[in-house]
Chain A
Amino acid sequence: MKWNNGNDKQQPSASATGVASRGLRTLGFGFGRDDESREEIERIDFKMVTFSLAGKDYGIDIMKVKEIAKFERFTFVPNARPFVAGVYNLRGEIISIIDLRVMFNLPAEQHSDGTPQDGLILRLEDNLIGVIVDRIDRVVGISSESIQPPHPIFADINIRYISGVVEHEDRLYITLDVDRIFTKESEKARAVGQSRRVMDTPPGEPIEESASVTAPAATAPDEQQEFSFISDGLATFQKLYASAINLQWLQQRFKQWRQERSEAQKPIQFADEHDAAAFVRPFFSANSEQVWDRSYSEALRAVLPHAETMVVNAWNPGCAKGHESYSLAAVLSTHYSGRRVKIWAGDNDLLSISTAPNLILAEEAVPDYMQEFTIGTANGVTFSAGIKEMILFEYHDIRHESGVPDVHIVVCRDLLSLLEPEVQQRVLTKFYETLVNGGVLIVGDNEQLNDDTRWQPVSDQIQAYRKV
Chain B
Amino acid sequence: MRVEYINPFVESAYNVLREVLNSDVNRGELFLKSTAMPVLGVAAIVGLAGDVEGRVMFDMTRDTAIKIASAMLEAMDMEPISTLNDMGRATINELANMITGQAVTKLHELGFKFDLTPPAILSGENMEISDAGVEALIVPMEVPQGKIEINVAIRERS
Indicate if the CB atoms of B132 and A401 lie closer than 8 Å. yes
Q: Is A100 an interface residue (CB 8 A)?
A: no
Chain B residues in 8 Å Cβ range of A396:
1, 32, 135
What are the interface flags for B132-144 relative to A under an 8 Å C-beta threshold, 1 for contact and 0 otherwise? 1111011000000
What are the interface flags for B7-23 relative to A under an 8 Å C-beta threshold, 1 for contact and 0 otherwise? 00000000000000000
Q: Is A110 an interface residue (CB 8 A)?
A: no
Indicate if the CB atoms of B31 and A26 lie closer than 8 Å. yes
Complex Cα distance A353/B33, Å? 17
Q: Is A3 an interface residue (CB 8 A)?
A: no
Indicate if the CB atoms of B4 and A401 lie closer than 8 Å. no
Chain B residues in 8 Å Cβ range of A26:
31-32
What are the interface flags for A387-430 relative to B under an 8 Å C-beta threshold, 1 for contact and 0 otherwise? 00000111111011111010000000000000000000000000
Q: Is B158 an interface residue (CB 8 A)?
A: yes
Indicate if the CB atoms of A400 and B32 lie closer than 8 Å. yes
Residue of B nearest to A356 (CB): B3
Least Cβ distance of B99 to chain A in Å? 19
What are the interface flags for B45-74 relative to A under an 8 Å C-beta threshold, 1 for contact and 0 otherwise? 000000000000000000000000000000
Chain B residues in 8 Å Cβ range of A402:
135
Q: Is B36 an interface residue (CB 8 A)?
A: yes
Indicate if the CB atoms of B34 and A399 lie closer than 8 Å. yes
Indicate if the CB atoms of B3 and A401 lie closer than 8 Å. no
Indicate if the CB atoms of B135 and A397 lie closer than 8 Å. yes
Chain A residues in 8 Å Cβ range of B137:
395
Chain B residues in 8 Å Cβ range of A350:
6, 30
The residue that B32 contacts in the complex, of A392, A393, A395, A405, with Cβ under 8 A, is A395
Complex Cα distance A402/B133, Å? 6
A403 and B32 in contact (CB under 8 A), knowing A353-B3, A395-B137, A396-B135?
A: no
> Which of the four size classes fits the interface of chain B?
20 to 34
What are the interface flags for B111-152 relative to A under an 8 Å C-beta threshold, 1 for contact and 0 otherwise? 000000000000000000000111101100000000000000
Chain B residues in 8 Å Cβ range of A32:
33-37
Complex Cα distance A134/B8, Å? 63
Least Cβ distance of B132 to chain A in Å? 7
The residue that B34 contacts in the complex, of A354, A392, A400, with Cβ under 8 A, is A400
Complex Cα distance A25/B4, Å? 22
Indicate if the CB atoms of A397 and B32 lie closer than 8 Å. yes
The residue that B35 contacts in the complex, of A34, A356, A392, A395, with Cβ under 8 A, is A34
Indicate if the CB atoms of B34 and A30 lie closer than 8 Å. yes
Indicate if the CB atoms of B31 and A401 lie closer than 8 Å. no
Least Cβ distance of A390 to chain B in Å? 14
Chain B residues in 8 Å Cβ range of A82:
none
Indicate if the CB atoms of B2 and A400 lie closer than 8 Å. no
Complex Cα distance A94/B138, Å? 52
Indicate if the CB atoms of B32 and A354 lie closer than 8 Å. no
Q: Is A357 an interface residue (CB 8 A)?
A: yes
Indicate if the CB atoms of A403 and B158 lie closer than 8 Å. yes
Complex Cα distance A397/B155, Å? 14
Q: Is A348 an interface residue (CB 8 A)?
A: yes
Residue of B nearest to A350 (CB): B30
Complex Cα distance A397/B138, Å? 13
Indicate if the CB atoms of A34 and B36 lie closer than 8 Å. yes
Indicate if the CB atoms of B6 and A395 lie closer than 8 Å. yes
Least Cβ distance of A312 to chain B in Å? 14
Q: Is A104 an interface residue (CB 8 A)?
A: no
Q: Is A35 an interface residue (CB 8 A)?
A: yes
16 contacts between A and B (CB under 8 A): A29-B32, A29-B33, A30-B31, A30-B32, A32-B33, A32-B34, A34-B36, A357-B4, A393-B2, A393-B4, A394-B2, A394-B3, A395-B3, A397-B32, A400-B34, A402-B135
Binding site for B on A (CB under 8 A): 25-26, 29-30, 32, 34-35, 348, 350, 353-354, 356-357, 392-397, 399-403, 405
Top 7 closest A-B pairs, CB basis?
A: A400-B34, A32-B35, A403-B155, A400-B135, A29-B31, A393-B3, A405-B158
Binding site for A on B (CB under 8 A): 1-4, 6, 29-37, 132-135, 137-138, 155-156, 158
With A354-B3, A402-B135, A403-B155 already in contact, 5 other A-B pairs whose C-beta atoms are closer than 8 Å? A25-B31, A29-B33, A32-B35, A396-B135, A401-B34
